[in-house]
Structure 1
Amino acid sequence: MIEITETWIDSVAPNSAAIKNGQGLVKKGRFLQLNHSEDNIVLFGTCAGSGSSNYQPSADFAIPEKPVMRCSCPSRQFPCKHVLGLLYAYAEGASFTPAGIPDDLAAKREKAEKREERKLKESAEGSSPKPKKVNKSALKKKIISQLEGLDVLEKLIHSLIRSGLGTIDTKDLKLIQDHVKQMGNHYLSGAQFELRRLLKLLQASGDLDQETSYTYAVEQLAVMNAFIKKGRQYLSAKLEDPEMQPDHESTIEEWLGHAWQLTELQGFGLISEQVELIQLSFHSYTDDARQEYVDVGYWIQRDSGEIHRTIQYRPFKAAKLMREDDSFFDVAQVPVLYRYPGDMNRRVRFEEVLTRPVTGSDMKWIQAYGARSYPESIKKVKNQLKNPLSDSNPILLLHVSSISQNAEGRYAITDESGQAIGLGDVLLTPTVSMLRYLKLEQLNEVSILVMFEHCIKSGRLLAQPLSIVTDKEIIRLLY
């Protein structure tokens, strides 16, 4: 069985309310029985329900990295609060009595074992996951529709530019809103997001000074223009390709609205096996343009030092039914890590995970990956920012010789050669001001995870500290 910690339980919980309710069941003594199987592989018990009936939650760790959780309650959440309570009780050291597995649970386990045996047999026979069969005729029609949609979008953008942003009125905003819907009809969800982002900027122009408002709007128009050109070039070439293979190196497919399947990523060799990851930072935010909540975790890979992102999108309409991600404080031991196409800070995903506590040796290897040359790091960041379709907020782990503050109260980090990078808040959640509360030894000769952004108003490159890694701990400024 894996080491069951509160961090791991939190990571499998559907949301914070389920965590609170699961812990509440333990505190209120709602569990009438707590048992484990003779081989310690299955946890099960009986929990008093809100009515007259009791519920039987269980957690089966026959496959440690992929536990099966069940409960007899009618909850639509998975795992439910009763299973979470069972796990929290175990993590807190509650007394579990050895017992035989109930018959109904044993029957379910037997069926699951047969399914697993069948999968293993297929795998042994060399039958890898079959990629989704592409209907080339339907795909061709879709590409033609996407090209038509890009033409429509280009006409709108050029019309707005010719008229001038200062002349945009309610009628123009309504026209943009209508085009947002049209982009969906042309299978261009990426264009839909970006056009809605432009609409939000123009609608919020009254909340900002005119110069700032127009500057951000022009920047968004430039991004959309680059997307139209690259998208048209890519789709035209794909239309001429007999195989119509997707580009698995750049992010253009994602911009066009393609949702990558894990079998596709595996087919293109975008996987790594037996990987250890440690989450350095985490935050959630609301993306009104996508109409989704976004949960982002920043992780470092032990064998390469790469900084990855896990991203979960939770549509507003379905958010209550989806598990929200949260901070993760243990080492994640991942059997298979799937990598999405991209450049710096690739998006990654994993379906199965084991955990172990973070140790002092982990702090050492994390710190060792901190980049020591700021000029080289800045060059790397600028090369990414030159591409309008790349992530505009690259993340790097930097070694810091010292953090200083000037007479105006502005902070800067300095490398071993004396090169400095100015710190500033990039995200809506500020972190720079929190540096004043840290001790001197937590600010010198440490590694810092920073998020970069090119500040449009000042024209300068800013770095926001997200976490500080010392030889003893990870200090999260953003969580």
Structure 2
Amino acid sequence: MRTFSEEEITAAAPNQNALSNGRKISGSGGFVRRMRSEDERYYGGECKGSGKNNYRVSVFFEEGAAPVFRCSCPSRQFPCKHSIALMFEMAAKKDFELCEIPEDILEKQRKLSAREKKKEEKAAEGEAKPKKLSAAGKAARTRKLKKQLEGLALLKALTDRLLGSGLAALSSAPLKDYKELARQLGDYYLPGPQLLFRKLLFVLERCQSAGKGEDPGERYREALSYLTKLRYLGRRSEEYLKKKLQSDSPEADDNLLYEALGGIWRLEELNALGLKKENAELVQLSFEERYDPVEKLYTDLAYWIDLRDGEISYSANYRPEKAAKYIRSEDSSFSLLRAESVSIYPAAEGELRRIRWEKASFGEIPPESFSRIRSFSETELREALKKAKAQLKNTLSDNTFGILIHYKRIGESGGGKLYLEDRLGERIRLSEDAGNDTALFSLRALPYPGLFREQVLFGLVRYERKGEELLLLPRSIVTERGIVRLMF
């Protein structure tokens, strides 16, 4: 009999409400009938609902494809809460009476398979022959590039004005005019620079609201970093856009500046550029949720390691605050994720790359996988930090770099601060994100002394401007038997 794991059900649910409601329906005996075909391709049932008649719910399995859910309810969510409830029924291994697959389901499945086949053929044709913009599309892209160049001229005038005034002088000056100018950047198709400018103004507002006796030095350093990024992005982007216009090729390319300016990649564009890997087997090293108060955006951030080559990458699920309740949030994964195709976002050489997939399956992590993950770790801090420094020097870096490091021990200094020491005696201080001490609290609370010696740690290297030092934010410990999460 087929079943679903808790993680697979959570991954399938469109949002938390659908997951909770599906669990309630299953737990309260919502299904009055459950059926399955002898070949186990079809599972279905009749579920009580708010309507006069019971809802017909089903899931169809086909080799090499994701399960197909169907329900007669009027919900626009997919899969709906009744489909989620059916998954819980299967997970609980309840009794399903044998039946023939309904003819209407078989007919719908044949049509779906035909559409999928046609789509795959088109995709294969598109990869063999990259899609070219139409004359109208090319003209529209060219107009957009010219408009962006106009916006970059406005951005340069803004940053020149800020530099002329001095950041310290702005700590007491009204920022209303600058906010209006920041808004105007959105009219020039420059959401990337616009967001950086808004973050700069946000930090300057915090400088203005600093209390008496509070040292604003760190905030000025942060404001200066945003101003530096804006100047760098403006200069490099101007060169980039002019070259695109001169070359008469306004199509999206793999230049990092495309995304930095606010361009949004579609999976088919990434795949057409060859930015993908096939048959990936991924294990999640860490998961956390971040919130950006300027963008008003939640980000579900997960770090993964590929069991084939040891490459560490990350996935990001973005949930705008206004629509957060309608968008399914991601969660920690404790399973082996298999994806036939993983799309890769452009990144600087050596930088962690963002990945994304459309279809994936989950299974148990083979016990030998943890030893394999450990085998990919760095053994010397000096080499690991050398790679981190190379990326953190990138002006557009987000000031974090993931590393997997084998340590001799984790100890505590005389000042009560934790540090990691490698086999050569080199040390780095363990730190935490501002306002979130979960990881260090979890680390101090670990009950097994063996976790503090001769293990492998996954963490994020960060440069602290105030102390001018590299710090390591611990996220998980990889042992021979599993992964100990310090954050969820």
Deviations 1:297-344 (A, max 9, x none): 110011111111111222233333322221121101110011110032
2:221 matched to 1:219?
no
For 1:394, give the aligned amino acid: F
Matched ranges for 1:236-255 at <5 A: 236-248=242-254, 250-255=255-260
Match of 2:367 in 1: 360
Deviations 1:56-81 (A, max 9, x none): 22222214542222222222322121
Residues of 1 paired with 2:39 and 2:121: CA distance? Answer: 25
Distance 1:379 1:9, change over 3 A: same
Distance 1:429 1:46, change over 3 A: farther
Cα distance in 1, alignment partners of residues 126 and 256 from structure 2: 31
1:434 is the counterpart of 2:442: yes
Change (3 A) 1:453 1:122: closer
Which one of 364, 379, 392 corresponds to residue 385 of structure 1? 392
Q: Pick from 284, 288, 292 the counterpart of residue 293 of structure 2.
A: 288
Deviates more, 1:65-74 or 1:148-157: 65-74
Give the conservation status (yes or no) of the 8 Å contact 1:278–1:332: yes
Decide whether aligned partners of structure 1 residues 397 and 428 sit closer, same or farther in structure 2, where only a CA change above 3 A counts: farther
Deviation at 1:121, TM superposition (A): 5.5
Q: Give the 3 Å change call, closer, same or farther, for CA 160–302 of structure 1 in structure 2.
A: same
CA distance in 1, matches of 2:171, 2:132: 46
* Alpha-carbon contact 2:336-2:363 (below 8 Å) kept: yes
Letter in 2 for 1:264: E
**Which of the residues 159, 173, 180 maps onto 1:157?**
159
2 CA distance for matches of 1:375 and 1:76?
A: 54
Task: Find the aligned partners of 1:116 and 1:50 in 2 and give their Cα distance.
Answer: 34
* 1:386-425 alignment runs, 5 A limit: 386-425=393-432
Task: Give me the whole-angstrom Cα distance separating, in 2, the residues matched to 1:125 and 1:424.
Answer: 50
Shift in Å, 1:126: 8.4
Query: Equivalent residue for 1:373?
Result: 380
Q: Which residue of 1 aligns with 2:139?
A: 137
1:470 Cα deviation after fit = 0.9
User: Secondary structure, in 3 states, of the residue corresponding to 1:289?
Assistant: coil
Q: How far off is 1:410 after superposition?
A: 0.7
Q: Would you say the 8 A contact 2:16–2:328 is kept in 1?
A: no
CA shift digits 1:411-433 (9 cap, x unpaired): 11111111111100035432112
Structure 1 letter corresponding to 2:444 = R
Q: What residue number does 1:268 align with?
A: 273
Q: Deviation at 1:473?
A: 1.6
**What's the RMSD between the two structures over aligned residues?**
2.2
- Residues 1:304 and 2:312 aligned together: no
Give 3-state SS (helix, strand or coil) of 2:415's partner: coil
Greater mean deviation of Cα atoms: 267-276 or 421-430: 421-430
Q: TM-score, normalised by structure 1?
A: 0.94
Deviations 1:6-28 (Å, cap 9, x if unpaired)? 11111121222222222122211
Q: Report the secondary structure of 1:323's partner residue.
A: coil
Distance in 1 separating the partners of 2:352 and 2:315 = 10
Structure 1 segments unaligned to the other structure (5+ residues): none
1:448 touches 1:467 (CA, 8 Å); kept in 2?
yes
Map 1:74-113 → 2, pairs under 5 A: 74-113=74-113
Q: Which amino acid aligns with 2:249?
A: E
The answer to whether the 8 A contact 1:65-1:354 is kept is no
In structure 1, what is the Cα distance between the partners aligned to 2:120 and 2:387?
Answer: 44
Match of 2:478 in 1: 469
For the pair 1:50 / 2:57, whether they are aligned, the reply is no
- Alignment CA distance shift 1:386-1:445 (3 Å): same
Identity among equivalent pairs (%): 35
Note the C-alpha offset of 1:169.
Answer: 6.5
In terms of mean alpha carbon deviation, does 180-189 or 111-120 score higher? 111-120
In structure 2, give the amino acid aligned to 1:216. Answer: E
Whole-Å separation in 2 of the counterparts to 1:221 and 1:456:
15
Q: 1:270 to 1:127 in 2, by over 3 A?
A: closer
CA contact (8 A) 2:133 2:251 kept: no
Deviation at 1:443, TM superposition (A): 2.2
Q: TM-score, normalised by structure 2?
A: 0.92
| Preserved CA contact (<8 Å) 1:130 1:263 | no
In structure 2, the CA distance between the partners of 1:50 and 1:253, relative to structure 1 (3 Å rule), is same
> Given that residues 65 and 353 in structure 1 are in contact (C-alpha distance below 8 angstroms), is that contact kept between their aligned partners in structure 2?
no
Alpha-carbon shift at residue 124 of structure 1 (Å): 7.8
SS in 2 for 1:352: coil
CA separation of 1:472/1:283 partners in 2, compared to 1, >3 Å: closer, same or farther? same
Q: How far is 1:378 from its partner?
A: 0.5
Farther-moved stretch of structure 1 (466-475 vs 112-121): 112-121
For the residues of structure 2 that align with 1:320 and 1:223, how far apart are their CA atoms?
33
Alignment check: 8 A CA contact 1:176 1:195 kept: no
Distance in structure 2 (CA, Å) of the matches to 1:127 and 1:366: 33
In the alignment, the residues of structure 2 paired with residue 414 and residue 105 of structure 1 have an alpha-carbon distance, to the nearest angstrom, of 60
Cα distance in 2 for residues equivalent to 1:121 and 1:136: 26
- Name the aligned partner's letter for residue 322 of structure 2: K
Equivalent residue of 1:360, what SS?
Answer: coil
Residue matched to 2:180? 178
Change (3 A) 1:65 1:461: farther
Write the distance in 2 (CA, Å) between the matches of 1:181 and 1:170.
Answer: 21
How far the C-alpha of 1:149 sits from its partner, in A, is: 0.7
Distance apart, 1:246 and its partner CA: 3.9
Once residues 428 and 200 of structure 1 are traced to their aligned partners in structure 2, the CA distance between those partners, rounded to angstroms, is: 18
The corresponding residue for 1:15 is 15
Q: Does 1:346 align with 2:342?
A: no
C-alpha distance in structure 2 between counterparts of 1:227 and 1:374, whole Å: 31
SS in 2 for 1:303: coil
C-alpha contact (below 8 Å) 1:331/1:356 kept by paired residues: yes
Quick one: structure 1 residues 33 and 3, their matched pair in 2 at CA, closer, same or farther if it must change by over 3 Å?
Answer: closer
